[in-house]
Structure 1
Amino acid sequence: MLSAVAARKAALAASQASTPPEPTATAGSSSGSASGSNSTPQPKAKSKRKLSTQQARPDAKKPKKNKSQPKAKTASKPVSDDFKSQADVIVVDSEEDEDDSDSGMSILEDFDPLELAKSAAQIPVKRAWSPSQPVVDSSDEEDDQVGVVDISSILPNVRTATREVEDDRVLSTFKPEPGSNIFTLTKEESSKLGLADTATLVGLISTDTLCLLGACNLTVLRGSVTLCGTTLQPSTTSYPIYAPRSAPLPVIRVNPKSETSTFDLPEHLHQFHAVISLQELKTNVQGLSRICRSFEGVFEPSRWQRSSTESPFGISGLYLVRRLSKECHVFNLPPSWAEALDRVAVHRDNVLGGAYIVKGPKNSGKSTFARTLMNRLLQSYRRVAFLECDLGQSEFTPGGMVALNIISKPVFGPPFTHPILPKYAHYIGSTTPRSSPSHYLEAISALLQTYRLDIQTPDLDGTEDDDERIFDVIPIIVNTMGWSKGLGADLTQQIESMLEPTDIFDIHAPAREDWSVAPPPVPIGGQRNGYGAYHDYSTMEATTALVHTLDFVPSSSAAAGYTPSDHRALSIMSYFHARYPVDAVPNQWDEVAVQSWDVSRPLCAVPPYQVDCGVAFDKIVLAGAGSEDVVEEEIGNVLNGAIVGFVSCEPGTVDMEISGPESGSGISTTGIPYSRNSSPPSPASSNCVGIGLIRGVSSPTTTTSSSGESGPPKTYFHILTPLPHSLLENARVLVKGEMELPVWGMLDFRNFDDKEASGDIGDVAGVDRDNVPFLQWGKAPEGAYGAEKRRVRRNLMRRGQM
């Protein structure tokens, strides 16, 4: 950061550059002439000084080798590392300053950064090899523009004015003043307004913006506000808000088209255009960051962000973000997205119960737009069907399944904060349909048929309610996967043909050569996929759908350093630690959402269900590449520690034939109803209610009847699942795919301090590290092929490099 003295000198240098230069001699130029200045040499007070510990390098340039001369054989001597010995700051000294180089004065006390930048830019300095990319020098083209010289590459600790404008954009213009625009209510005062617990009222005027970080419950009491592209009207409904740093932060703005309040508010609150209520959200969702250490502290400001955040609401875990920083990103609605959403609202008046499909490449904002579209449709419809076709990053269910959900309330937060129990789903068992594309399409076709027959036009009576939204039609949104090339593009096109959409939202990515320009136009009969390549669909029938072309929005999670595999791991761990109502019986129209998360114990310390495999299940199926090679004797080892899907089938549709080694009673010796080369149940007659974890498999034991005869062997499973008991009763088929439990699910995170998290893992409370299943500490036993990582030497040099 520039000091005040340096800032004044920069302004003085800029003013001197605008005055006519005085004629001077050109011979014997000093550092001032080298920097492009035509004025007389500066006095000694303007000199650039070096640090007292820095030594001058007389041989800054290495002599060029003459290839025609033969190489002389010299004695070997140690080669010095030029990269380590070079200075961090390039200092340009004049001849008259050499006597004062050891004065001990800091270089930051009297230097002109603009002159230093121009001087260093004109002196070619060769650096030793560095892994970083070379800095592009454009100072020669902008020599006359002193005010736009970029010195960020020379002085990395100095922030230019351009970067300050970019990184310090104001997000929250709301200025909290307790007693003036922030009011804390007691339980009695909150109950009069229909609020369950203590609350904080926030009064907003038309120019106020409010950016939140953390988690809270939001209720609109007066006026209306916009949040993540959705308008919230005054009502008694509380909306859970989840705003971690790993996702775009929501910004609350006052809607100019405000409606009158239905609440009896005091007179002093009528001066505000909008009044909202903020309450503490007690779900323990913050504890998920203890389990997945990649997301540690995402609901709190980072240490670099603490200066721009504050907590004026008196609510635990809720912060007000004042300025934008590189650790967080906000939700911005691009103009093309806003235009498409407005056109959907107009198009809805003509075609009720529309079918909408969202497609585009990966990391393009596809899932974010699908969530925003769902929230926007919930302003006109009471319920919206959401068909999830993205196996890797599902919105409401863990990965590995295609699911049809019915949503009745807007959601504000990333996918791991709102898992629900699906209405209808089919378990694929993988994060990509590459190994089973036919089963993938068959499952989606069955879900679309279920939607048209049972969901699209429900038999409901909503005339008695005051809700004016449409209740007799439920539209559908299809969120496709981000695999937009080759087989992935063909699968997406077949899904579109099966859906027959009324609106197509196509996100176009700019060409890979230049991501800063707009994408080229789509040729007639062509459909753009990921990076400018096209698939020719001119032979197919023309669609009558309304096509919306959307801008490419880079993923904020990738910019924050989170990969899709990190989000998949967090989504699975959120599912297994979620707590649903134990006695909940999901009906056809209302979703069963998570109530809280139990993060007090790891999965290795949670009491499991002990299930007799031969009694509880009719069939166990292995799906995915290589599953056909598993013999019956090894099925217990394969299922040990596996993620499985619980599938309920219609009566009479399950083949219970057992093959393989058999005992005298005709039952498999493993006690597990498994047979090789079995295919998953047909999606037309089955339904996946959820997934579970088989934490342990016992050895088969032989039973003996009362008459002394040997009975069938018994094998017990230890199963972990958050599903209610009512759903597990009819799920008598287990399907294991290619998905595996993340390593975070195998660790015991209790008393896991920073030293242990860095790699020095010791014994923790509850479960000793040597007893954690499926994990081995230290080196593998000697003699096992591939058990130990081979050492790769990368310091070998060629003969010419010696």
Structure 2
Amino acid sequence: MADVMVYGKEGASRLGWTRLRRARSPLGVGRRARRRARSLAVGSQRRLRLRLQQAEAAGVAWLDEQGAAEALVVGADWSAREKKARKKKARRRERAERERREREEQRLERERGEREWRQLRQLCTKRVRDGDGDAEERATPAPGPEAAVEADGPEEPPRAPGLGEPFLVRAKAGLLMLLSHSQSLTFTGKCRMTCLYGRVQVFGFIINQGQPAYDLYSPHTNCALNIEAISYVMPEKTLKDMKLEVRSLIKDHLSSANALLVIKQFSPMCSIVLLESLETPATDFILSYPAFSHLFSGKKQEVSSSFNLEQLTMSSVGIKKCEEERGLHLSESSISAIEELITACCEEIDGCPIIMACGPKCIGKSTFNRYLINQLLNSIPCVDFLDCDLGQTEFTPPGCVSLSNVTEPIFGPPFTHQRKTRKMVFYGDSSCEDDCKKYTEIVKYVFSAYQREAPLIINTMGWVKGDGLLLLIDLIRMLAPTHIVQFSSEQCQDMPLLTPEYTTGMAGLQTKGKTKVKNRHLDCNESESSGDPDEGSQPPSPGHKLLLVQSEFPGAGVAQLTQWHSPVLRDMALLGYLALLQPPEAKPFLPLHHLVPFQIPFSSVALRVIHTDVAPAHTMYTVNASWIGLCRILDNVKQKTDGPVFLTDNPVCDCVGFGIIRGISMVKKVYYVLTPLSHEKLRHVNCLMIGNISIPHCIFKSQPKIEGEIPYVTSEYNFSIWGAGKLRVRKLLQRREYL
């Protein structure tokens, strides 16, 4: 055997190894077996050599190929065991490294939480110190995260006590909330909400998984919003598969430690939402004024020992948890009315329903309309809304009658959703007591644009006493609603029931009622059911269905008990429209006197003061620094002189938008107008209407970077001068007597 590999027996040292090699006969292994042996590792070759030496001592002939192959198989078995042991050690090392990384992430997360807790604690203490002198007494330090760490408590973020409370965990860019079935969170503030898993309901609108994020506004002027988890169709998956799906959805928003906590808390029928801080130019513009700076946060930030990390984390997002009593609570009568209206709108047996909400002031009409719109949008794509309330408008600044097509849910008061309307007319006042005839003409003109392609909701004024009730009867005859929702409360029950018999037989301000025949022997001319159409009568309507709603919230129907009065709400609506002037990328916001106005020549537009009579010589003084409606009249503006053009009557025309006349140049013959309208829309404007809607005083008083005297503001004005006050003209026509 010339081509053999010689193995010697291992010894205790190199000298012993050499002696053994020379003393014992060599072990021969064939070429084929030698090739197999080369593929083994060093440790396997050493073990194989030991086996060969043991076999040789037992008298085995190792030059036999079969025996050498069997020995190699034994060595291969040893090699497989060694590989298995190496893999096991590698898995141990990986698991130890993973645990070490998780501990490090938890430590960093805990340190970040401690930092945020200290910062928020200092911020709340500073706010109280700025607002109240005894803040140091009330700002007692609360037990922070350090105490929990020293006590070796659980590393999960703090959660609200109680079994019925949602599970909250801090996310990378906000707050993640896990809600079991029927769990809810009532809050004040503003935030942006995204439904990551399941289904939730906010103010009547159902938000499913995969829908875009929605902006939620819950100021102190209205009832607080409520996020409630509702049931949904369970997927045909196991709980393990559902948890894997949830983990893939939340892994980009949470750290691994917090994601593990959410997975442990997850159960079937749970919903997960992500709450993020919301900063928009509109809200920043409104909150910049001191009178409205506490609109979402409240006037006092109380800091006490009851504050915990969870509440401070929620405040960092921009919300604050409040009691459920501050949320929307629907009475049984309102729930029954909403269900019946939804059924009527979805079936549409007799065409699109026309729903009119009426009742006294501060009774809940606007809140009911918003909730009804959100409920209808769950089933139908759009809802039309006719706003006949001049004082508390929904989608426009005050003083307008408008028709809007609503396709998106409403999650806030009017100043948060000023939008484009289908048709709008500028009446110019927050009340129509001075000219009811002009008001009815405007309502009729706007209602003519309704195409009956979607259900219509009509919002009416809270003026329901005296002439206001008669005007409401005129609107019922003119608009012919199919359903009337009449609101009442324990404090306000003076309004009669608007049954079909009552509205048909009662005379209005401009329409006659249907008189009943008391004696059959009367002349036919005296027993007619309605008057002459030329005298203002309307054809009898087919009738309507009356739905009675009893408002049960505190202070319903009593305007004196409201914290935010109507003038303040109107100012916020005006500020919400003026916030549209802010460029989207403006941070921080730009004051109004920093914006570049449009220049409108005298010859291209006509002027009209619609709420009172003003001499032409004094009209330019009235127009300057005034709120104006940018309108479009059918007649062409004819310029006879070099001065401005004045209208002699109040036309019923479309209003394109609104603005402020910042200044007038008598040299250049131009008006300087601030408006969010574009150049294309301004080309259609040929009339500027000035009404009794005043610009909020905070705009004039709070003008930053102004030195010396503030423009348009003076304290040395003498109101005793003749003509200094506004001349109030009563245009209300005397009501006819039909008895």
TM-score after normalising by structure 1:
0.57
Deviations 1:120-159 (A, max 9, x none): xxxxxxxxxxxxxxxxxxxxxxxxxxxxxxxxxxxxxxxx
CA 1:207–1:698 in 2, change beyond 3 Å: closer, same or farther?
Answer: same
CA 1:362–1:271 in 2, change beyond 3 Å: closer, same or farther?
Answer: same
- Report the 3-state secondary structure (helix = DSSP H, G, I; strand = E; otherwise coil) of the residue aligned with 1:220: strand
- Report the 3-state secondary structure (helix = DSSP H, G, I; strand = E; otherwise coil) of the residue aligned with 2:450: helix
- Give the counterpart of 2:620 among 627, 636, 639: 636
Deviations 1:545-570 (A, max 9, x none): 22210113446996562110011111
Which residue does the alignment assign to 2:192? 217
CA 1:241–1:511 in 2, change beyond 3 Å: closer, same or farther?
Answer: closer
Which residue does the alignment assign to 1:678? 649
Report matched runs for 1:321-340 at 5 Å: 321-323=321-323, 329-340=326-337
The one-letter amino acid of 1:730's match is H
Shift of 1:315: 6.9
Which residue does the alignment assign to 1:416? 415
1:476 partnered with 2:476:
no
Is the contact made by 2:186 and 2:323 (CA closer than 8 Å) also made in structure 1? no
CA distance in 2, matches of 1:370, 1:412: 12
- Give the counterpart of 1:692 among 631, 653, 659: 659
- Report the 3-state secondary structure (helix = DSSP H, G, I; strand = E; otherwise coil) of the residue aligned with 1:566: helix
Report matched runs for 1:144-183 at 5 Å: 175=161, 181-183=167-169
Which residue does the alignment assign to 2:576? 574
CA 1:248–1:225 in 2, change beyond 3 Å: closer, same or farther?
Answer: same
- Give the counterpart of 1:725 among 647, 664, 679: 679
CA 1:202–1:782 in 2, change beyond 3 Å: closer, same or farther?
Answer: closer
Q: What stretches of structure 2 of length at least 5 have no aligned partner? A: 1-158, 237-241, 249-262, 505-510, 516-529, 531-539, 726-739
CA 1:174–1:394 in 2, change beyond 3 Å: closer, same or farther?
Answer: farther
CA distance in 2, matches of 1:321, 1:229: 19
CA 1:476–1:271 in 2, change beyond 3 Å: closer, same or farther?
Answer: same
- Report the 3-state secondary structure (helix = DSSP H, G, I; strand = E; otherwise coil) of the residue aligned with 1:369: helix
- Report the 3-state secondary structure (helix = DSSP H, G, I; strand = E; otherwise coil) of the residue aligned with 1:562: coil
Shift of 1:279: 2.0
1:668 partnered with 2:641:
yes
Is the contact made by 1:608 and 1:719 (CA closer than 8 Å) also made in structure 2? yes
1:237 partnered with 2:212:
yes
CA distance in 1, matches of 2:723, 2:443: 40
- Max Rg structure: 2
CA distance in 2, matches of 1:560, 1:175: 33
Report matched runs for 1:67-78 at 5 Å: none
CA 1:421–1:316 in 2, change beyond 3 Å: closer, same or farther?
Answer: farther
1:251 partnered with 2:226:
yes
Report matched runs for 1:343-382 at 5 Å: 343-351=340-348, 353-382=352-381
Which residue does the alignment assign to 1:298? 295
CA distance in 1, matches of 2:435, 2:720: 37
Is the contact made by 1:361 and 1:482 (CA closer than 8 Å) also made in structure 2? yes
CA distance in 2, matches of 1:769, 1:487: 49
Of the structure 1 ranges 519-528 and 305-314, higher mean CA displacement relative to structure 2 is found in: 519-528
Report matched runs for 1:580-729 at 5 Å: 600-614=589-603, 617-626=604-613, 629-631=614-616, 633-649=617-633, 653-657=634-638, 667-669=640-642, 671-675=643-647, 677-680=648-651, 682-683=652-653, 687-699=654-666, 701=667, 714-729=668-683
The one-letter amino acid of 2:657's match is G
The one-letter amino acid of 1:638's match is T
CA 1:546–1:223 in 2, change beyond 3 Å: closer, same or farther?
Answer: farther
Is the contact made by 1:429 and 1:739 (CA closer than 8 Å) also made in structure 2? yes
Deviations 1:85-139 (A, max 9, x none): xxxxxxxxxxxxxxxxxxxxxxxxxxxxxxxxxxxxxxxxxxxxxxxxxxxxxxx
Deviations 1:651-680 (A, max 9, x none): xx315346xxxxxxxx334x21114x2332
The one-letter amino acid of 1:656's match is V
The one-letter amino acid of 1:506's match is Q
CA distance in 1, matches of 2:700, 2:514: 51
Deviations 1:232-276 (A, max 9, x none): 333322221001112111122222456659994228245452211
Higher helix fraction (1 or 2):
2
CA distance in 1, matches of 2:391, 2:588: 24
CA distance in 1, matches of 2:559, 2:302: 17
CA distance in 2, matches of 1:536, 1:336: 32
- Report the 3-state secondary structure (helix = DSSP H, G, I; strand = E; otherwise coil) of the residue aligned with 1:348: helix
The one-letter amino acid of 1:442's match is E
- Give the counterpart of 1:265 among 246, 253, 259: 246
CA 1:313–1:337 in 2, change beyond 3 Å: closer, same or farther?
Answer: farther
Is the contact made by 2:281 and 2:582 (CA closer than 8 Å) also made in structure 1? no
CA distance in 1, matches of 2:687, 2:353: 35
The one-letter amino acid of 1:563's match is H
Is the contact made by 2:399 and 2:426 (CA closer than 8 Å) also made in structure 1? yes
CA distance in 2, matches of 1:597, 1:364: 39
TM-score after normalising by structure 2:
0.62
CA 1:366–1:260 in 2, change beyond 3 Å: closer, same or farther?
Answer: farther
CA distance in 2, matches of 1:787, 1:292: 29
- Report the 3-state secondary structure (helix = DSSP H, G, I; strand = E; otherwise coil) of the residue aligned with 1:376: helix
Is the contact made by 1:247 and 1:557 (CA closer than 8 Å) also made in structure 2? no
- Report the 3-state secondary structure (helix = DSSP H, G, I; strand = E; otherwise coil) of the residue aligned with 1:654: coil
Is the contact made by 2:582 and 2:590 (CA closer than 8 Å) also made in structure 1? no
CA distance in 2, matches of 1:785, 1:567: 32
Report matched runs for 1:514-553 at 5 Å: 525-526=501-502, 539=515, 541=540, 543-552=542-551, 553=553
Overall identity of the aligned pairs, in %: 23
CA distance in 1, matches of 2:562, 2:293: 13
CA distance in 1, matches of 2:432, 2:228: 41
Shift of 1:738: 1.9
CA 1:292–1:545 in 2, change beyond 3 Å: closer, same or farther?
Answer: farther
Shift of 1:364: 0.7
Deviations 1:455-505 (A, max 9, x none): x33xxxxxxxxxxxxxxxx21111111111233222322222232222211
Shift of 1:227: 2.2
CA distance in 2, matches of 1:207, 1:746: 48
CA distance in 1, matches of 2:363, 2:388: 16
Which residue does the alignment assign to 1:493? 473
CA distance in 2, matches of 1:354, 1:524: 16
How many residue pairs end up in the alignment?
A: 507
Shift of 1:225: 2.2
1:776 partnered with 2:730:
no
CA 1:780–1:729 in 2, change beyond 3 Å: closer, same or farther?
Answer: closer
Is the contact made by 2:199 and 2:229 (CA closer than 8 Å) also made in structure 1? yes
Q: Give the RMSD, CA atoms, in angstroms.
A: 3.7
CA 1:637–1:781 in 2, change beyond 3 Å: closer, same or farther?
Answer: closer
The one-letter amino acid of 1:724's match is S
